[in-house]
């Protein structure tokens, strides 16, 4: 299930006109359904400090598992990630487990890999 999240999470960038091109802060959302359930994700990305390229993500996910046509009660997952942004490669790297978010600019969809 964890791999399904990592492989298929697509994030939609919210546009804020007052932000600079290098500021990735915003709310990213995704909703998808697969053979084992339904998932709704909301990621709140904000700068962790005023200088540098360190960001923080608060992830709020709701998962409804399915088995043999039966749906189970919704599970809520909340996580906080600290990430380092590389502007040259345009990637965010999570500092504990090494998860990476890829994109070409702040108006592009990001994917976790």
The pLDDT score that the predictor gives to residue 21 is 55
Q: Report the chain's C-alpha Rg in angstroms.
A: 15
The pLDDT score that the predictor gives to residue 112 is 54
Mapped onto helix, strand or coil, the DSSP state of residue 97 is: coil
Mapped onto helix, strand or coil, the DSSP state of residue 2 is: helix
69 backbone φψ class: left, alpha, beta (φ>0; ψ -120 to 50): left
Domain with 53 in it = 2-112
pLDDT one digit per residue (tens) for the chain, 113 residues: 444 443 333 333 333 344 455 678 888 888 989 889 999 989 899 998 877 789 999 999 999 999 998 999 999 999 999 999 888 888 888 888 888 877 644 444 455 54
Indicate the number of domains in the chain. Answer: 1
How many other C-beta atoms are found inside a 10 Å radius of the C-beta of residue 7?
Answer: 10
Tokens encoding 109: 């969809």
The pLDDT score that the predictor gives to residue 29 is 87
């Amino acid at each position: 299930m964890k791999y399904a999240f990592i492989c298929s999470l697509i994030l939609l960038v919210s546009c804020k006109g007052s932000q600079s091109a290098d500021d990735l802060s915003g709310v990213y959302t995704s909703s998808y359904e697969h053979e084992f359930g339904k998932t709704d994700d909301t990621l709140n990305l904000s700068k962790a400090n005023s200088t540098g390229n360190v960001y923080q993500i608060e992830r709020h996910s709701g998962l409804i598992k399915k088995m043999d046509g039966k749906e189970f009660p919704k599970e809520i997952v909340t996580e906080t990630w600290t990430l380092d942004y590389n502007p040259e490669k345009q990637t965010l790297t999570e500092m504990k487990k090494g998860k990476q978010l890829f994109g070409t600019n702040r108006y592009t969809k990001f994917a976790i890999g």
